[in-house]
Amino acid sequence: MQRFRGAPTRPRRPLPSALSHLALPIALGAGLGRDTVPGRLLAAGAAASVLPDLDVVGLRLGIPYASALGHRGATHSLLFAAALALLSAWRHRDLGAAPATAFGFVLVAGASHGLLDALTSGGLGVALLWPLSPERLFAPVRPIRVAPLTVRALAAHGPAVLSSELRWIWLPAALLAVGLKAGVAVQRARAPS
């Protein structure tokens, strides 16, 4: 991971669009099937994948973007994803899954948010290791285009953002789903009747 360097500027809100954060839990759910990922667990994973962006409320409240409580701060950390996963394991019966399945699925879904944001082409980086480190990190390669949240900016940049997200998020997620589905089918075919 690379560290953020430079003075904070007014952010253009670099992140994959909210819908693209849903790609991984959807792919995992589709690939593993309802026996492993029941609907309520899929919903919990989907929520965990978009919940980190609630930190944008802080921008409206005057919390600086670069603050630990600012955008891409604590809520984008692996600790936050782990906390959501622990909550899911605790409530596993409500989600229709075993504790370990609920924990693992929600952990991966929640952690994917910060990891995808680290792959974007702008911003101040992601506090993946908060509270162990306040540093904002980027992935060494950042192929995902910034998705602006204003309607005017999205109208101007939407096609390029959509193309980037289709290529770098949705296509790999679809391939993952197909691969998992094939793996599950092979495993079931080998299982004794």
Lowest-confidence range among 8-22, 33-47, 83-97, 119-133?
Answer: 8-22
Instruction: Answer yes or no: pTM beyond 0.85.
Output: yes
Q: Is residue 27 part of a domain?
A: yes
Q: Is residue 175 part of a domain?
A: no
- pLDDT for 123 equals 83
Domain hosting 56: range is 14-170
Higher pLDDT, 127 or 160: 127
Most confidently modeled range among 63-77, 90-104, 133-147? 90-104
Residues forming a β-bridge with 3? 137
Average pLDDT, the chain: 89
The total number of structural domains that make up the chain: 1
Q: Is residue 18 part of a domain?
A: yes
Q: Is residue 2 part of a domain?
A: no
- pLDDT for 5 equals 52
Higher pLDDT, 6 or 173: 173
Conformation bin of residue 160: beta by default, left when phi > 0, alpha when psi is -120 to 50: alpha
Q: Is residue 193 part of a domain?
A: no
Q: Is residue 110 part of a domain?
A: yes
Reply yes or no on whether the pLDDT at 77 is more than 80.
Answer: yes
Q: Is residue 147 part of a domain?
A: yes
Mean pLDDT to the nearest integer, 88-92: 98
Q: Is residue 92 part of a domain?
A: yes
Vertex 3: Cα angle to 48 and 83 (nearest 5): 25
What are the two backbone dihedrals, phi and then psi, of residue 2, each rounded to the nearest 5 degrees? -100, 150
Q: DSSP states of 64-130 as a string?
A: -TTSTTSTTSGGGSHHHHHHHHHHHHHTHHHHTS-HHHHHHHHHHHHHHHHHHHHTBSSSS-B-TTT
CA distance 183 to 185: 5
